[in-house]
Amino acid sequence: MADLEIYDQPQSLTATGLVKIWGCNDTILVDCRPFIAYNEGHIRTSHNINCPPIVKRRSGGSLPLANVITCANSREKLLAGDYKNVVIYDQNTDDFQNATKDSNLYLVVKSLQEDARLRNNVFYLTGGYDAFTCQYPQACVKPSSPSSGSTLDSPRSCGKEFRLTDEFFRGEAVEILPWLYLGSSVHASQKSKLRAAGITALLNVSNSCQNHFPESFLYKTIPVADDSFSEIGKWFQDAINFIDSVRSASGKVLVHCHAGVSRSATICIAYVMQFKKCSLDEAYNHVKTRRNVIAPNLNFMSQLEEFNKQIVCSYPGLPSSTVSPLGFLNSSCANHMPKFDFSFGDVGSPVSPVLTPDGHAHFFGTFQPLMSPS
């Protein structure tokens, strides 16, 4: 057992416990591993510490906060008290008492406790990254393959999970539903291709992308950032109403953000959930199979889970047993989900769910939009 010289041992937190508190926007995650390990894979939104050997030797057993939280904006929020919880993890530590005094995990905890400016709850993730990625692989960022050209930033700057490459911009915008397309800012800038696809409207889910052709297309902008604070959920109903209005006019809408990976994918998943009255798992898989690079950040996934609960409450016919809290992160849940047929009846026709003996659910017709929660 290590000879601990910290004031209080940090509380342990399981992978499931981390996921449960993630959507509160008051938790910051610190990855204590070397950058090489971080670059090979890390938990979404985590901050990689900057602790080269020379800094560790000169630190005297404590690291400057700037080395623990390298992002200035996040560091300011931590000092301002915006983060209630600090969750720290390494590769695979199960018990903090086994952490040696020269380990990064120990140094980070000690540094946070010694900083008189901080008043946060400090947790360590039991089992570290290895345990978390086994249980929640979709909540982690990894290079897709050596040939994909995708690489991770070093260290990760605020709001950027990975370096954007041609993988996200090449090809065409994809059809999610006959009137709903998903793509990137590049797709939104190609007027001839928009025309060829029959696009009549664009839903810009960003606070930075330009609306290129206002004289030729109908536009709506949802100004959200791709980070752990943005409340994209409050825009779900506006987005759904906009998409439905375009559909009612026999048009087609392209939903896009910068890369077509997180924000716009979140909106498309929410729309599919409501329109098809299906679970988050089913909607996620439907969108993922059409644009396989989608990766909504964990904050957005948490808000989709809350929307999932609204769907279940609004449609009692949807078996509640098919929806478990944050079950979308556990691939094993997918084996117990009902299968949905994404075929479409006539616009405005009544909705008629038909359950087959094998447990498949088929929906015919269209669904009315949910009312905004009061």
- Residues serving a catalytic function are 257
Contacts of 30 (CB under 8 A, 6+ apart): 46, 47, 49, 68, 69, 86, 87, 88, 89, 108
State the burial class of residue 179 (Cβ atoms within 10 Å of its Cβ: 0-12, 13-18, 19+). Answer: buried
Radius of gyration from C-alpha coordinates of the chain:
22
User: Residue 41 region, left (φ>0) first, then alpha (ψ -120 to 50), else beta?
Assistant: left
Check residue 321 and report its DSSP letter: G
| Helices and strands counted in the chain (H then E) | 14, 15
Helix (H) or strand (E) holding 66: helix 65-68
CB neighbour burial string for 95-126, b if at least 16 within 10 angstroms, e if fewer: ebeebeeebbbbbbbbbbbebeebebebbbbb
Phi, psi angles (nearest 5°) of residue 104: -60, -40
Residues with Cβ within 8 Å of 277's Cβ and at least 6 positions away in sequence, in order, are 311, 315, 317, 318, 351, 353, 363, 367
Residue 146: cis peptide before it, omega within 30 degrees of 0: no
Please state, in angstroms and rounded to a whole number, the distance separating the CA atoms of residues 231 and 235: 8
CA atoms within 13 A on the CB side of 41: 16
Q: How far apart are CA 303 and CA 260, in angstroms?
A: 18
